[in-house]
Amino acid sequence: MHASNTATPTLRAIAHAALATAATGLLAALAAPPCFAASALQLDELSGADRTSLHAVYETSRHRIFTTDDGHEARCSLQQYRTRFDARGFTVTSDAGDWEFGLELRAFGRDGVLVPALARGAHSVEGSRLEATWNEGLVEWYVNGARGLEHGFELADAPAGEGEVVLALAVRGGLLVEISDDARTAVLRDATGTAMARYADLLVADALGRELPAELAATDEGLSIRVDDTDARYPITIDPLVEQAKLGSALQSGFGVFDLFGSGVAVSGDTVVIGAELEDGDSTGVNGNQASSGATDSGAAYVFVRSGSTWTEQAYFKASNTGAGDHFGCSVSIVGDTIVVGANQERSNATGVNGDQIDDTSLGAGAAYVFVRSGTTWTQEAYLKASDTQPSSGFGGRVDASDDTIVVGASGANAAYVFVRAGAVWSQQTKLQPSNLDPGDAFGSDVAISSDTVVVSSVLEDSNATGVGGNESDNSAQKSGAAYVFVRSGANWNQQAYLKASNTDQSDEFGCSVDVSGDVVVVGCAWEDSSATGVDGAQNDNGANLSGAAYVFVRSGTSWAQRAYLKASNTDANDWFGNSVAVSGTTILVGAPNEWGPSSGIDGPQGDSVFAQLSGAAYVFARQGPTWVQVAYVKASDASASSYFGTNVDLAGDTFVVSGVNPWQEYGQAYAFDLDHWELIPGCYGNGATYVEPLFPARIRTTVPLDLLGSVVSDGVVATYYGTKSVDASGCGVQLAATQELLLALSPFPTYYALSTMTGGVATMPLAVPNVASLVDLRVTLQSVVVDTATFASEFSNGIEFRIVP
């Protein structure tokens, strides 16, 4: 699925003068397809606090230089070429195989007095940087990045003799060198005269940053870089750029372009896994060579871990039987130290667990792969196939995991499969099918599991039923869609509920996304058409075609009922709200990848803009008692048109992940967000009254209702104090004696904030946050004392800490 492009590399020479002489260059493929802000995994806190980007983490990892049997190797996916390093230089080969170009240093020094370049020791590699040391204090280095291969030299001291400083380079690959009139660009042509590469924009500077006169010249062996170092302060740096010709629309970062990074996302605790189903690496297993590109659209998955506020890439997954077109990473799931990755186009004819992976006679059968972590090391634990493998099943198109149970969808086979683990051994426990199975219903379109409850959708199901447990046999609403709830008792699974939209309509494809958490199921319906906004609006006005909706179902005992009908706060036609859904506890996340909002970040303007078409959005809902309310409207921090933010979402506790995947240009991005604004702190002596964690963050210019529930006191007055939390392990500062009628030891001392009234055991205090920008990111702790005005009985509350956000 990669566009083919003709290319002409360009080499730009840049030199800096700093106490050494260096020649550096950047190799970038010019004919590469557009570079679409691709594949940056970024951390963006929902609070609006400073964003920590994972862009550099992923880019550095993706462009690492790997050691091979005969040297080193690197890959640049944006520029669509591979670089191989040997003892003398480098060679770049295009993915299409239509050109090859390289350079090697032969000699250097003064004009007419060149000395041969002699290697001094082995190459050193750190991440995406490689260094080679030559005689006379010359260091040659390379940095592989999204824009290409930067190639440089640093010369610490001026060479002996008179005249210009010269670096003599031999050209590899049989290309002919043509120097431009300004002597700052070398065009490299093949035998037909086609420009295949450029070595251009020569720049040389000394240690003081002064640009030095420099030029390129053709030689019998290739080309030379000539520098006038008169009055230069050493070292000097020479930095050329090599890139492929006919640069496409180069938009921002280049890693992961054409990989469909974000095709699957999942989060558990401080670990995030991102699928990239069109990645082309031909390695197998864990942490193989990311620079390889011999298996087109084989797919990959990337594991990131967070320490504090810093994310790093921990692992790079490939299938144990990597094959072109397998789409490994089309779906991912994680629970604790277990990750499952789907590959819905894998083609082996194996069945069950850990079968024969070599027989590729069942095209599109699909597979799933289980990886486990021990410490910081990941290994593949199982290779899962259906018990009745058949071609075009799409097994692994959707996966989900809960504890030691995995559910895998196979919509092409109208089935879902449940696997369980005992120790480190996996086995298939059951095959699930619906109560009203019809051919072509695509049962298994999406799957979700929470403990002993599984939800499976069937987006092409045709019944005209509405709500829960309706008439399954009336197939008069084609492609309306349905979802099914299954529950486990012991090792036996049974269907518990048949779910339909409360406003069933043909072609809505109810169930394009599903998720479950405990007794709550959320079903997405991206092609629903009503023009309602918010929660529980009018459902039957089909005035906003393909605007989308999400439906919340809640279980009481063994009975299910729809409890909410969710729409975007800015409903518009073609937004596809509900394309992705996630639920964790009392929080729901809904993606709308086709939304056109012009803002970025959190709770910005929600109107449409042609400059933000298809930028996408995500919406956060929280439950307040039995009622669901929207609490945040989320855009990418670097929102741009055609980013499709909201394509996939996942949510675990206070952390959620959103990807934006452009299927037409095959690029993607993923972002992690943090919802944790409030922290309840254990109380000190006398603790009885308790704060209720608010749904909304404490934003400047807003007032947040803060509820306090009494324990000893039912009616009385509440005095609230603020300060900063002490370092005491209890979270409360000094423990107070029973006779002390004093609040916890807030540091440096508590300050009176407000007086409120408690009635019937409940007090509501309005927490007004001033419009003062300097307060942003300040953490404040509150605690209250409650006094019964009739009996003078009293109690202290627990503490509650919050962060002020913009």
Residue 219 has pLDDT above 50, yes or no: yes
Does some domain include residue 154?
yes
The domain spanning residue 691 has which CATH number? 2.20.130.20
Residue 2 has pLDDT above 50, yes or no: no
Choosing from 227, 244, 261, the residue where a domain stops is 244
Q: How confident is the model at residue 28 (pLDDT cuts 50, 70, 90)?
A: very low
Is this structure's pTM higher than 0.85?
Answer: no
Spatial separation of the C-alpha atoms in residues 250 and 243, rounded to whole Å: 12
Which residue range(s) make up the domain with 761? 678-805
Does some domain include residue 3?
no
Does some domain include residue 164?
yes
When mean pLDDT is compared across 310-314, 381-385, 551-555, the lowest value belongs to: 310-314
Question: According to the model, what pLDDT value does residue 30 have?
Answer: 25
Spatial separation of the C-alpha atoms in residues 463 and 438, rounded to whole Å: 11
Does some domain include residue 415?
no
Choosing from 211, 244, 277, the residue where a domain stops is 244
Spatial separation of the C-alpha atoms in residues 409 and 394, rounded to whole Å: 8
Choosing from 244, 265, 281, the residue where a domain stops is 244
Question: According to the model, what pLDDT value does residue 411 have?
Answer: 98
Does some domain include residue 112?
yes
- Closest to 787 (Cα-Cα) out of 714, 695, 683, 716: 716
Residue 385 has pLDDT above 90, yes or no: yes
Question: According to the model, what pLDDT value does residue 456 have?
Answer: 99
Does some domain include residue 689?
yes
The pLDDT of 479-493, averaged and rounded, is 98
Average pLDDT of the chain?
Answer: 82
User: For residue 57, what is the enclosing H or E element?
Assistant: helix 55-62
Residue 222 has pLDDT above 90, yes or no: no
Residue 124 CB coordination number (10 Å): 11
Does some domain include residue 289?
no
DSSP per-residue codes, 503-540: T--TT--TTSEEEEETTEEEEEETT------SBS---S
Does some domain include residue 168?
yes
The pLDDT of 751-774, averaged and rounded, is 87
The length of the chain is 806
Residue 249 has pLDDT above 60, yes or no: no
Are residues 670 and 689 in contact, defined by beta-carbon separation less than 8 angstroms? Answer: no
Q: Indicate the number of domains in the chain.
A: 2
User: For residue 717, what is the enclosing H or E element?
Assistant: strand 716-724
Q: Is 469 left (phi over 0), alpha (psi -120 to 50) or beta?
A: left
Residue 262 has pLDDT above 70, yes or no: yes
